[in-house]
């Protein structure tokens, strides 16, 4: 991994118990944002959650993308996502879908807006998957040795059946996948986390994942 933390990274700030987002700082300071953790990862609510399932799997160390970390740790991430999915399906009867806008090292064409590895975890939506397939030229990952474009960025997603898909250098605007999920599910007004922090929504997410263990 690159560094333990990065002084200019908002996710690193959050890991260290600090947030400058209005209304979120006390939640982070009190560690109520940490829903669950493993040796290498934290699960935290997404700021501006799209619904009450919306959390992020983040690396404890600063690194641009999940493709940049060791394969063994990536395998741990997959196992963690499965446990998360099993928990939510058992609780709500709704599976999750997972996606990452993997930041490029030099140029970021992934549609992300934060250079710290994070996977979005949110309720499965057939409408969202249909929109993904229309907008992005995905390739199903059959070979684990498939190269991820860590220079220019990539988009990855895993569906509710744990099939994984990749598109390298997708040339997407910032927060595009959040916008696509919101638009395909007729969610109004809170896809832009920078503008719509939605603190009450964050508390609903934390409540929804109460008693999650990994």
Q: Could you report the per-residue pLDDT of 92-111, keeping only the tens digit for each?
A: 999 999 999 999 887 776 87
How does DSSP classify residue 213?
A: -
- pLDDT of residue 187 exceeding 70, the answer is yes
What are 158-169's pLDDT values in tens digits? 999 999 999 999
Tell me what pLDDT residue 146 has. 84
pLDDT of residue 7: 61
Mean pLDDT of 191-207: 87
Of 6, 206, 15, nearest in space to 103 by CA? 6
Return d(Cα 96, Cα 29) in angstroms, integer: 28
Distance between first and last Cα of the chain: 22
Asked if residue 144 has pLDDT above 60, the reply is yes
Fold of the domain spanning 10-208: HIT family, subunit A (3.30.428)
CA distances for 8 relative to 11, 12, 21, 22, 200, angstroms: 9, 8, 14, 18, 27
**DSSP helix/strand/coil, 120:** strand
**Average pLDDT of the segment spanning 147-172:** 94
In degrees to the nearest 10, what's the CA dihedral of 133, 138, 144, 150?
-120
Whole-angstrom distance, CA of residue 144 vs CA of residue 131: 25
Q: Is the dihedral of CA 110, 113, 116, 122 positive or negative?
A: negative
Per-residue pLDDT band at 145 (split at 50, 70, 90): confident
User: CB under 8 Å to 197, separation ≥6 — which residues?
Assistant: 21, 22, 23, 24, 47, 48
């Amino acid at each position: 991994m690159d560094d333990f933390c990065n002084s200019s990274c908002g996710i690193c700030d959050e890991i260290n118990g600090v947030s400058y987002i209005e209304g979120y700082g006390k939640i982070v300071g009190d560690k109520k944002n940490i829903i669950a953790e493993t040796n290498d990862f934290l699960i935290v609510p997404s700021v501006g959650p799209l619904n009450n399932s919306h959390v992020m799997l983040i690396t404890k160390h600063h690194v641009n993308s999940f493709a940049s970390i060791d394969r063994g740790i990536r395998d741990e991430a997959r196992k963690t996502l499965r446990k998360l999915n099993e928990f939510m399906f058992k609780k709500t009867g709704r599976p999750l879908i997972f996606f990452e806008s993997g930041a490029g090292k030099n140029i970021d064409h992934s549609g992300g807006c934060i250079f710290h590895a994070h996977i979005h975890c949110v309720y499965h939506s057939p409408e969202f998957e249909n929109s993904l397939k229309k907008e992005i030229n995905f390739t199903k990952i059959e070979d684990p040795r498939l190269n991820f474009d860590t220079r220019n960025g990539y988009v990855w997603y895993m569906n509710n059946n744990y099939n994984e898909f990749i598109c390298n250098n997708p040339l997407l605007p910032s927060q595009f996948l959040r916008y696509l999920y919101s638009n395909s599910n007729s969610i109004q007004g809170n896809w832009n986390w920078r503008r719509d922090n939605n603190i009450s929504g964050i508390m609903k997410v934390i409540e929804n994942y109460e008693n999650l263990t990994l």
